[in-house]
Amino acid sequence: MNDQQRTRFGEALQRLGGDEETMEMMATIVTEDAPKVLERWSDELQAKDLDAYARTGHALKGLLSTFETNEPVSRIQPLIDDARKNDVAAVRTSHASVVPEIDELLSEISAIL
Amino acid sequence: MPKLLVIDDDRAILAIAERTLSPIADVVTASTAGDGLKKLRSTPFDAVLLDIQLPDQNGLAAFCEIREYDRRIPVIFMTVEAASETAIEAMQLGAFDYIAKPLSVDPLRDLVEKAIEQRQISSVPVAISADETAADKSAELFIGRSPAMLEVFKAIGKVAKQNVPILVRGESGTGKELVARALFQHSHRADETFLAVNCAALPDNLLESELFGHEKGAFTGAESRRIGKFEQCNGGTLFLDEIGDMAPTVQAKVLRVLQEQRFERVGGNKELTTDVRIIAATNRPLEQMVSDGDYREDLLYRLNGVTIDLPPLRDRLSDVESLIRFFLAQAKLEFNKPDLEGLSPDAVKSLTNYEWPGNVRQLRAVVRRCVLDTVMPVITPEVLPTEIHNSPKSNDSTTDSETVEKSEESGTQLPQLVRRLLQERSTNVYAEAMEYMESYVILQVLRSTGGNQSQAAETLGITRGKLRDRINTYKIELKSDVVVKENE
């Protein structure tokens, strides 16, 4: 990890007791798992399966929150709430804007490796 | 090494748990509820970390299955929504604790260590079991077989059916009202009315009206005639608690009822008769108050024809275990804790070594609090209030508050005192805070009168006897300046 990454993910590193090795291990897992979860999430919206969409959103939020608890991860919960309310239109609008931000976060995480 | 089962479908969580917790436990992981439950049934575990949302089953349902299999395993929930209703529900169902995601390794390690420790402590056979059938066996008063209490039972048996006034003496919390009720229940008046009046809880004029009633217009606000307790209780038993805190005018009227069974309502001329048995109680030194001119000697002799002395709990510590068993069973039923097994030997040791300044009332409050607080089937010393857990044999727990009380500028530290008592999970907050405040008020007023007790009593609106009693209680020295004695 370089200094910039240490600052960028300072809170996450602190939660892990400053252990950079664990941080890198987490980055590996998230880099491997998150794209698949993200893809499934989009598919579930496409299929209008909002129950599954809410569950996957919850899993995605858990996975990414190891690195980031603010935006864009904090934007996932309102999406889960809208999905539980079966509000497809609201979910579609927010989903479209949050996915690119999550992609960007994933790039930052994979850069740790 | 203790064994920990972690059930979560998030690989990152499993990895963190394995890496962080492997120095303190053998970590076994499962990514579904089904897999986790299978592992649980094949290997004994000391604690479980459980995700609240699993792919194949809701975490709460998995928790119920774990409990069904082994209700002693502490289960810690992990949740992304720490304040969610699910987390609250988990705690209500008996989870050991819950931890918010993203996980922070230090609090996680501390919590798992605590859970494992609890598991080990609660695996010790209980010293006192929470047997619900003990709850309704007998009344609280009749618990205990110490010689001091046997004397009390004998005295109740001897005098209950005699139509004489009785004085019950004992420290606060020893159960004076219970004795009064037992006397009533075993008397010839058992089918009649039983009323209780706390003489210290009402200002003197209101107490007089409460006891004897008043006529319409007797004083401002007396818009209609009111029947007092002596009239209301005709044929029955009247329990006068804190009889030492009674103004001279009321003392005279009570004496007359005792002598002649006659009285008048406040503001009335008509003489009324009543047939009331009086049971009085106090923890005040009435003989000293008589010597000081603050209590009527004739009333004392009328009242103390028969006296029952209730011992403080510290003088009958052999009864503590029986009392715990009774209160435990009561609380288990009342708070619906069917899984509660009882108290560990160490917890019982702490409770039986403590001096119980608040007597049986305090013991009851502590046991109830423990039953409410515990999430494990066995109550261990960690659940006990700090003052009992940490200093079983001494009164060290009161040292701080005494220091606060005795500080020259006392009165300024009430918020700190209350905060500390709450932190220590004291079960005596009200009494300690009131004592602190009372000593401050009395000290300040005495200073303002230069130590003149008559003036101070007048300013305070209390009798000189009560003031003198408080001066002794709080060890206030009346020299050239009013000070509180140190080192006592």
Query: pLDDT digits over B265-298, tens only?
Result: 999 889 999 999 999 999 999 999 999 888 999 9
- Quick check: A59 and B10 CB within 8 A? yes
Tokens of A105: 């976060």
* B113: pLDDT strictly greater than 80: yes
Cβ contact B314:B356 at 8 Å: yes
Q: A26 and chain B: CB distance < 8 Å anywhere?
A: yes
Chains A–B, number of C-beta pairs less than 8 Å apart: 54
pLDDT higher than threshold 60 for residue B216:
yes
CA A73/CA A71 separation, integer angstroms: 5
| Euclidean distance between CA atoms B10 and B28, whole angstroms | 14
Full set of structural domains in chain B with CATH: 3-122 (3.40.50.2300), 160-309 (3.40.50.300), 313-395 (1.10.8.60), 400-485 (1.10.10.60)
Query: Buried (b) or exposed (e) across B121-159, using 16+ Cβ within 10 A?
Result: bbeeebbbbbeeebbeeeeebbbbebeebeebeebbeeb
- How many angstroms away from the CA of B325 is the closest CA of chain A? 45
Cα maximum dimension of chain B: 88
Q: Which residues of A touch B58 (CB under 8 A)?
A: none
Give the percent of chain A with pLDDT over 70: 100
pLDDT, average across residues B361-374: 92
- CA dist B462 and B64 (Å) reads 59
High-pLDDT (> 90) share of chain B, % = 35
Q: Looking at residue B135, what is its pLDDT? A: 62
**pLDDT, mean of residues A56-60:** 92
* Chain A closest-CA separation from residue B93 CA (Å): 23
Chain B interface includes A66 (CB < 8 A): yes
Q: Flag whether pLDDT at B31 surpasses 90.
A: yes
Is the pLDDT confidence value at B402 over 70?
A: no
pLDDT value for B401? 35
**Computed from CA positions of residues B219, B222, B224, B227, in that sequence, does the dihedral angle turn out positive or negative?**
negative
SS3 label, residue B86: helix
A33 and chain B in contact, CB less than 8 A: yes
- Report the residue from B12, B20, B80 with minimal CB separation from A29: B12
Per-residue pLDDT of A1-18, as tens digits, reads 899 999 999 999 999 999
Domain boundaries, given as residue ranges, for chain A: 3-110
Rounded-to-integer distance, Cα B411 and Cα B474, Å? 14
| B50 close to A (CB below 8 A) | no
Residue B406 has pLDDT above 90, yes or no: no
How does residue A64 score in pLDDT terms, banded at 50, 70 and 90? Answer: very high
Amino acid at B35: D
Is B105's CB within 8 Å of A55's CB?
no
Please answer whether residues B371 and B340 qualify as being in contact, where contact means their C-beta atoms are separated by less than 8 angstroms. Answer: yes
Instruction: Give the helix/strand (H/E) hosting B169.
Output: strand B166-169
What is the structure's pLDDT at B482?
58
Residues of A in contact with B12 (CB under 8 A): 26, 29-30, 33, 63, 66
Mean per-residue pLDDT for B406-416?
60
pLDDT of residue B460: 85
> Predicted confidence band at B442 (pLDDT cuts at 50, 70, 90)?
confident
B396: pLDDT strictly greater than 60: no
Res B364: pLDDT: 92
Q: Pairing between strand B26-30 and B3-7?
A: parallel
* Long-range own/partner contacts, residues B152-157 (CB < 8 A, 24 or more apart): B152/B179, B152/B308, B152/B309, B152/B310, B152/B311, B155/B306, B155/B308, B156/B182, B156/B183, B156/B186, B156/B308, B157/B186
Task: Please check whether residue B39 touches A, CB under 8 A.
Answer: no
pTM for the predicted model, two decimal places: 0.62
pLDDT at site B403:
34
Residues of B whose CB is below 8 A from A66: 12, 16, 102-103
Kindly determine whether residue B19 and residue A25, on different chains, have CB atoms separated by under 8 Å: yes
pLDDT at B412: 66
Chain A hits for B22, CB-CB cut-off 8 Å, are none
Q: Which amino acid is at A9?
A: F
CA B106 to CA A14: how far, in whole Å?
10
Instruction: Determine the distance in angstroms separating the CA of B404 from the nearest CA of chain A, rounded to an integer.
Output: 40
List pLDDT tens digits, range B164-182: 999 999 998 898 988 998 8
Q: Which residues of B touch A12 (CB under 8 A)?
A: 102
Least confident interval from B349-353, B357-361, B465-469 = B465-469
Mean local confidence (pLDDT), A53-77: 91
Confidence of residue B394 (pLDDT cuts 50, 70, 90): very low
The fraction of chain B above a pLDDT of 70, given in percent, is 89
DSSP at B203: -
Which stretch of DSSP H or E encloses residue A86?
A: none
Is A17 close to B105, i.e. CB distance below 8 A?
yes
Left, alpha or beta for B147 (phi > 0: left; psi -120 to 50: alpha)?
Answer: alpha
Given a cut of 80, is residue B66 above it in pLDDT? Answer: yes
Instruction: Give residue-wise pLDDT tens across range B445-462.
Output: 888 887 778 888 888 887
**Residue B131 pLDDT greater than 80, yes or no:** no
Question: What is the overall mean pLDDT for chain B?
Answer: 84
Instruction: Please report the pLDDT score of residue B488 as a whole number.
Output: 38
Q: What is the pLDDT of residue B136?
A: 57
Which carries the bigger pLDDT value, residue B404 or residue B343? Answer: B343
Convert the pLDDT of each residue in B3-24 to its tens digit.
999 999 999 999 999 999 999 9
The pLDDT assigned to B7 comes to 96
pLDDT of B463? 72
Confidence of residue B121 (pLDDT cuts 50, 70, 90): confident
Check CB contact of A99 with chain B, cutoff 8 Å: no
Task: Closest CB to B102: pick one of A33, A58, A69.
Answer: A69
So what's the pLDDT on residue B300?
A: 93
**The CATH classification of domain A3-110, taken from the options 1.10.357, 1.10.760, 1.20.120, 3.30.70:** 1.20.120
Across the interface, which of A55, A63, A77 has its CB nearest the CB of B12?
Answer: A63
Q: Confidence class of residue B203 from pLDDT cuts 50, 70 and 90?
A: confident
B468 vs B484, which has greater pLDDT?
B468
Is residue B480 predicted with pLDDT exceeding 80? no
Q: Do B395 and B460 form a contact (C-beta atoms < 8 A)?
A: no
